[in-house]
Structure 1
């Protein structure tokens, strides 16, 4: 379970990224976080794995106080909470399978990625992860030869290889064409349903959020203004979420 209790985040310039957030997200949920640009979506997602430190309140994941983690404990925790970014964060000049295997060895030196010194078990784990997202046939191709959608699926496979309980995705389909975006969202849905992984996606494509998620959390000016099943996220609710009030600045910080 992910639990926010009275969580706030105030940036050094005084901007309030999160304003007294109270949420509970159960294991196995597929949650889409929506809202206008600057509303606080990325801040909320990135607080869960301590890419952003909260200012006030309590944030726990499976009863672990996230704010208390340091050093090795924090690194180990982040392996249980996988993160997929819009920019893929892959090593472009090595093969797909080496990118995926890099997730299997904590703090692995970069030279080991380049040389490909992995065990047979690590190779099989990587291939299985690539198969789950339908891209195993690209395993031995250099990553920079893939399309954007294929690279995002490699990123997802790499995260799956570390066997996290939670998958966080920060605008994972923002840079993709509509057809490819649908394919990537289908991958997230299959992983959620087949492996019972908790999935939280920060997404600006409302139609994709409504199609693939089970639960919608809407954020506006750092506050949760809607939290409920997709069926209850009506046109009236959406109109309120995306009204033209000024949002939170510098959300991606």
Structure 2
């Protein structure tokens, strides 16, 4: 369980990125966070694994106040939370398999890190992860020979190999074409359902969020303005989330834009 209580996040320049966040996400949920650019979506996501520290309030993961963690405690937290980025963060000049095996590096002895030695069990886990995302046949192909969608699946497999409880995804389909974006979103949903992993993602494509996620959190100017079931989201709710400097009709059009844009 992830629990925010009265969480504020203020940056050194004075920007208040999160205001009075009260939020609970239970194990096994598939949550999409939506809102305009700069609304605080990425900040909220990155507070969960301590990439950002909160300024005040309480943030617990499995009843552990993560703001009190130091050193080894933070490393253990991050082992249970997989993070997937828009940019994939892969080493393109090496094989898919080696990229997935990187997920084990933080927990292995120094000599194995230096020599690049992995156990048979670690290799098996990497292959199982690749199979789960449908690219087992690419295990020994260099990453730079893969399409963007395949590379995102490598990033997802690398996260799965560490067997996390939670997957955080920061705009995971932003750079993908519409067909591939749907495939990757389907991968997230299947993993969520089959492995009971919590999936929390920031996403600009509202249509994809509404199709695949079971819960929508809408953020505007650092505040949660909607938190509820996907099927309860209406155009009026989207207007509330995306209300800004543009005209009302443009807001709705932007929020409902298809993934082809």
Aligned residue for 2:236, secondary structure, equals helix
Post-superposition Cα deviations, 1:198-243, rounded to whole Å, max 9, x if no partner, equal 0001000000000000000000000000000011110111112112
CA distance in 2, matches of 1:108, 1:102: 10
Whether contact under 8 Å (1:173, 1:181) holds in the other structure is yes
> Which residue in 2 is equivalent to 1:33?
33
Aligned residue for 2:156, secondary structure, equals helix
CA distance in 1, matches of 2:57, 2:100: 35
> Which residue in 2 is equivalent to 1:96?
96
CA RMSD of aligned residues (A): 1.7
Whether contact under 8 Å (2:171, 2:202) holds in the other structure is yes
Q: How many residues end up aligned between the 2 structures?
A: 246
Deviation at 1:105, TM superposition (A): 3.1
Deviation at 1:124, TM superposition (A): 0.9
CA distance in 2, matches of 1:160, 1:199: 12
Q: Is 1:226 aligned to 2:226, yes or no?
A: yes
CA distance in 1, matches of 2:212, 2:30: 8
> Which residue in 2 is equivalent to 1:250?
none
The higher relative CO (CA closer than 8 Å, separation ≥ 6) is in: 1
Deviation at 1:108, TM superposition (A): 5.8
What pairs up with 1:165-204 in 2 under 5 angstroms?
165-204=165-204
What pairs up with 1:127-146 in 2 under 5 angstroms?
127-146=127-146
> Which residue in 1 is equivalent to 2:11?
11
Aligned residue for 1:70, secondary structure, equals coil
Whether contact under 8 Å (1:102, 1:108) holds in the other structure is no
> Which residue in 2 is equivalent to 1:119?
119
Whether contact under 8 Å (2:105, 2:113) holds in the other structure is no
Whether contact under 8 Å (1:219, 1:241) holds in the other structure is yes
> Which residue in 2 is equivalent to 1:210?
210
> Unpaired segments of 5 or more residues in structure 1?
247-253
TM-score by length of 1: 0.93
Deviation at 1:117, TM superposition (A): 2.2
Distance 1:120 1:107, change over 3 A: closer
Distance 1:243 1:109, change over 3 A: farther
Post-superposition Cα deviations, 1:110-143, rounded to whole Å, max 9, x if no partner, equal 9967965222111111000000000111000011
